Copies of this chain bind each other. A is one copy, B any other.
Amino acid sequence: MINASIITIGDELLIGQVIDTNSAWMAQELNKIGIKVSKRIAVGDNSDNIWSALDQESIDSDIIFITGGLGPTADDITKPLLCKYFNGELMLHQETLDHVTNLFENIFKRPLTERNIKQAEVPNTCKVIFNKRGTAPGMWFEKNGKIFVSLPGVPFEMKGLMTDEVIPKIKSLKSLSPILHRTLVTFGIGESMLADMIQDFELALPHQVKLAYLPNHGIVRLRLTASGNDVDQISTILNERFSKLKDLVHEFLIADEDITMQNIVGKLLQQKNKTLATAESCTGGYLSHLITAIPGSSKWFNGAIVAYSNDVKESLLFVNQNTIKENGAVSESVVKEMALGLLKQTQSDYAIAVSGIMGPDGGTAEKPVGTVWVAAVSQEKILTKRFHFRFDRLKNIEVTALNALNLLRIIIKEKE
């Protein structure tokens, strides 16, 4: 098995100004082609630390990925260091310079500065990985039988280079033994209860198959991973175990593929050729955002009304003023009226409505922070549910959205 390390460079990672999403994405993509990431390291813009990370990681890993540290400003020191580490000299790379010049003249419409020109310099001991999406080129080095790949830290650029250039190149160089994954998604059961439920199954797994628990926000994903040289054989073993696992957890199973809750709901709606709209108070548009982040969701999503103020609940969702007065905005009757008002306003087949207190303020003894009412309705049916979450504001919003989508999933499935 081929081992990889990922080194991310930048002071911004060590002061917490930036969250490292690159490593997770890279690990995922590498995993798919059978490369195991055994370590991820973040170091600052500090030559000694970068140098020793390169030394250290090339002991155990076959491929070392380096991201970041290639931007135009003075706090970036990575390129000169890589030059020294790989015994090279900085040389102007004409193709990159032409590209950078074109970007500034025709796209950014800003003057090209000395700093930008310097971005086209690369160590002459590397193979340049041409970066059509940005100004910093990727670099491919080899030393003592190990491969080092340096990529810009801008996620959009890094991803493009990995997909178009680096992954195909690695696949062509290395004979990779296949890894297969199958993932199922459960909802409404805790990690430890699930573990008890499938304890015997887990103990009886053959050595080629591994089980991982991936809990997040009330969803627990179970992933089986099989590896070995005979792809047909491991595929058969994997599928057989996967189908057994599905049976064991069927009561809580919401999908037998690695898919988000919003995609589950989207697929169901598309299959049935039905449309959806959301009426959001406490989630404030987050539900709608989750849905519209899916390409093509316009086929089944009409839109949303974020009714943050009571006035908007009344004027746009036709919630009766007295309903709010008598029950409060966070109540079963209000979310019902919101959902039904929305069905009417948007001519949709299904609607979700949510109202709650997300915190940190706004709670009362009777309705503490975290109290949420959700309604999912179709033209024929109404489902409502109360929740009480105990997280911070943002996590309360996220968990509410997930549970609202799940209620919708149930109402759609019930019609089957």
Contacts and interface: CB of A to CB of B under 8 A. Distances in A.
Contacts of A352: none
B38 A71 contact: no
B26 A214 contact: no
A278 B395 CA distance: 23
A92 to B, nearest CB: 17
A40 B41 contact: yes
A84 to B, nearest CB: 21
Contact of A193 (B113, B212, B345): B113
Interface string A286-301: 1111011101111001
A327 B114 CA distance: 43
Interface residues of A, number: 106
Nearest to A315: B345
A168 interface: no
Contact of A24 (B16, B56, B306): B16
A162 B69 CA distance: 30
A28 B12 contact: no
A195 interface: yes
A145 interface: no
Nearest to A15: B31
Contacts of A285: 278, 280, 285-289, 291-292, 304, 306
A21 interface: yes
A281 to B, nearest CB: 9
Contact of A16 (B26, B195, B391): B26
B202 A12 contact: no
15 contacts: A14-B36, A20-B24, A39-B43, A41-B41, A72-B191, A72-B192, A110-B190, A114-B196, A284-B288, A284-B289, A285-B288, A302-B308, A303-B307, A303-B316, A311-B347
**Which 6 pairs show the lowest CB-CB distances between chains A and B?**
A284-B292, A285-B288, A16-B28, A285-B285, A16-B27, A304-B306
Interface of A: 11-21, 23-29, 31, 36-44, 46, 49, 56, 71-75, 107-108, 110-111, 113-116, 155-156, 159, 190-196, 202, 211-216, 221, 223, 277-278, 280, 283-289, 291-293, 295-298, 301-309, 311-312, 315-316, 345-347, 359-361, 390-395, 397
Given A15-B28, A295-B359, A295-B360, 18 more contacts: A14-B38, A16-B25, A16-B28, A16-B29, A18-B214, A38-B44, A71-B215, A75-B211, A155-B395, A159-B392, A280-B285, A284-B293, A285-B292, A286-B289, A296-B361, A298-B309, A302-B308, A316-B316
